[in-house]
Amino acid sequence: MGPLTIAGFRYMIGGLVLLPIVLLRKKTNAPISKSIWIRLILIGISSNTIANGALFWGLKYVPATTGSFMLSLVPILVLFGGSLFLQEKPTRWQVLGVIISILGSGLFFSTGLLPGEPQGMFIISLGLFGFMAFSLLGRSIARDRQLDPLRLTTLPLLIGGSLSFILAIIIEGIPHLSGISIFIVFWLAVINTALGYLLYNRALQELTALEVSMILNLAPFFTALLGWIFLGERIALIQFAGMLIMITGVILVQRTFKPEPVVN
Would you say residue 200 lies in a domain? yes
Would you say residue 16 lies in a domain? yes
Would you say residue 130 lies in a domain? yes
Would you say residue 104 lies in a domain? no
Would you say residue 199 lies in a domain? yes
Would you say residue 182 lies in a domain? yes
Q: How many domains does the chain divide into?
A: 1
Amino acid at residue number 188? L
Reported as a pLDDT band with limits 50, 70 and 90, residue 92 is confident
Residue 262 predicted with pLDDT over 60: no
Reported as a pLDDT band with limits 50, 70 and 90, residue 20 is very high
pLDDT (average), residues 61-85 = 84
Would you say residue 34 lies in a domain? yes
Reported as a pLDDT band with limits 50, 70 and 90, residue 40 is very high
Would you say residue 164 lies in a domain? yes
Asked whether 15 and 155 are in contact (CB, 8 A), the reply is yes
The range of the structural domain enclosing residue 7 comes to 3-92+114-208
